[in-house]
Amino acid sequence: MRIASAGLLLLVAACGDRDAERAVAATFSVPAAARFQSVERHGDFVCGEVNPGGRAGYTRFVYEEATIRVNVAPPKSYSAVELDGFDRTCRMLDGAGTAFDRQACARATDARRDADRATTFEQVWQQACQP
């Protein structure tokens, strides 16, 4: 009976992992192209790496089973020094720059948002996926 229970538990965990993979893949433009590796269960979380297809390479993901929440690591962001430089340049321009300068400031804002997302993802990864 004990062996049967362990087998059933393993089967249930494997089904949850496939649900996680489907949920993560659904966040990409071509879900069928997603490839997974190093997928592991940590309690209510499924952690691993996914390649969305093509030459993008693998990136980490966290799937929270209880809330069906998917977190995929954002692309590599700029360093704090680079972000500070962007911010300083935009403050100097203060809306008086050319269209190119305004585009650069918009990219700086996007870079800051991506850096914030990367920090948040790192916190989720540390809490959910690190033993």
Closest CA to 67 of 20, 27, 29: 20
Count of structural domains, the chain: 2
122 and 90, same structural domain?
Answer: yes
> Each residue of 53-86: b (16+ CB within 10 Å) or e?
eeeeeeebbbbbbeeeebbbbbeebbeeeebeeb
Domain boundary among 67, 95, 112: 67
What is the token pair recorded at 117?
A: 């997302």
112 and 54, same structural domain?
Answer: no
Could you report the per-residue pLDDT of 40-50, keeping only the tens digit for each? Answer: 999 999 999 99
Could you report the per-residue pLDDT of 12-66, keeping only the tens digit for each? Answer: 344 468 999 999 999 998 999 999 999 999 999 999 999 988 777 899 999 998 8
DSSP annotation of 31: G
91 and 129, same structural domain?
Answer: yes
Q: Structural domain of residue 129, as residue ranges?
A: 74-131
54 and 31, same structural domain?
Answer: yes
d(CA 46, CA 55): 24
16 and 60, same structural domain?
Answer: yes
pTM over 0.95: no
96 and 123, same structural domain?
Answer: yes
Closest CA to 50 of 26, 82, 67: 26
Point out which residues pair with 60 in neighbouring strands.
49
